[in-house]
């Protein structure tokens, strides 16, 4: 199985929650292995909110490790410092530190930190430019063999998928 970061963008929170629940079932069935995941919505003003997603499964709402928190910060650019820190603080003190650490330098600092963690810079650019106001992002770190089961879930709920291998 390959270690990857997946970002799926949806037009509504409901679509993202439904896709997250289906991905949780893929995890429960042993088809993929979810390490951590988050759901984040970008509002009309460009602010990021992290709705409660713990009820979806144990991997959801975990911003730890710097990877997901850093990606959330990069998605918002310099604005991500405050939003990412607030989101991280709500999740855990460790996650808040990771988010602030990844986002403090603004977009360039966050991108640099994420590439050090093994994320492709083109992937980061694609995701950050495609997250439109009103969109909800489903962000997961996952081990998956075939990409087909995850692609099918995202497609079923009308999402756009972006995937990066972690090196």
Q: Answer yes or no: are the C-beta atoms of 110 and 70 closer than 8 Å.
A: yes
Q: Which residue has the higher pLDDT, 91 or 165?
A: 165
Say what the pLDDT of residue 37 is: 83
Examine the pLDDT at 78 and tell me if it is beyond 90.
no
23 pLDDT above the threshold of 90: yes
Q: According to the per-residue pLDDT averaged within each range, which of 73-82, 92-101, 120-129 is highest? A: 120-129
Q: Which residues are CB-contacts of 144 (< 8 A; sequence separation ≥ 6)?
A: 1, 2, 4, 31, 32, 33, 150
Question: In the structure, what pLDDT confidence band is assigned to residue 51 with cuts at 50, 70 and 90?
Answer: low
**What number is the average pLDDT over the span 146-162?**
96
Residue with tokens 């003190």: 93
DSSP 82: H
- Residue 84's pLDDT is what? 45
pTM above 0.85, yes or no: no
Listed in sequence order, the DSSP H helices in 29-135 are 67-76, 80-91, 93-103, 106-116, 121-130
Residue with tokens 């770190």, as numbered in its chain: 141
| CA dist 143 → 2, 42, 109, 154 (Å) | 5, 26, 26, 16
Q: Looking at the DSSP assignment, which residues form a beta bridge with residue 141? A: 5, 36
Mean pLDDT over 49-64 rounds to: 57
Would the pLDDT of 102 be above 90? no
CA–CA dist 56, 129 (Å, integer): 27
Comparing 120 with 139, the larger pLDDT belongs to 139
**Closest by CA position to 45, among listed 126, 117, 134, 107:** 134
User: Which candidate, 89, 123, 92, 124, places its Cα nearest to that of 110?
Assistant: 124
pLDDT score of 41 more than 80:
yes
């Amino acid at each position: 199985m390959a270690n990857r970061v997946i970002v799926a963008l949806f037009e509504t929170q409901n679509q993202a929650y439904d896709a997250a629940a289906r991905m949780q079932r893929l995890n429960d069935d042993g088809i993929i292995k979810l390490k951590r995941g988050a759901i984040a919505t970008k509002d009309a003003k460009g602010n990021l909110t992290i709705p409660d997603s713990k009820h979806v499964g144990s991997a959801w709402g975990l911003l730890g490790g710097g990877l997901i928190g850093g990606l959330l910060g990069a998605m918002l650019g310099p604005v991500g410092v405050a939003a990412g820190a607030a989101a991280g603080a709500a999740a855990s003190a460790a996650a808040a530190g990771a988010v602030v650490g990844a986002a403090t330098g603004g977009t360039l600092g966050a991108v640099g930190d994420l590439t050090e963690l093994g994320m492709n810079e083109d992937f980061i650019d694609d995701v950050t430019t495609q997250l439109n106001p009103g969109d909800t992002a489903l962000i997961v770190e996952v081990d998956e063999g075939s990409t087909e089961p995850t692609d099918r879930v995202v497609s079923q709920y009308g999402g756009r998928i972006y995937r990066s291998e972690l090196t």
